[in-house]
Amino acid sequence: MASIFTRIVLGEIPAIKIYEDDATLAFMDISPASRGHTLVITKAEHADLIGMPAELVAQVARTVQHVAQAIHTALAPDGINIIQNNGAAAGQTVFHYHVHIIPRWEGDAVLKLWAPQTVASVELQEIADRIRAGLR
Count of CA atoms in the C-beta half-sphere (13 A) of 128: 7
Distance between CA atoms of 81 and 102, rounded to whole angstroms?
5
In the residue annotation, 98 being an active-site residue is answered as yes
Please give the Cα distance from 13 to 32 (Å, whole number): 18
Which of 46, 96, 98, 100 is catalytic? The answer is: 98
- Element of type H or E holding 80: strand 79-83
| 105 Cβ neighbours under 8 A, 6+ residues apart | 34, 77, 78, 79
Q: Select from 23, 20, 93 the least CA-distant residue to 53.
A: 23
- Hey, which residues are catalytic here? 98
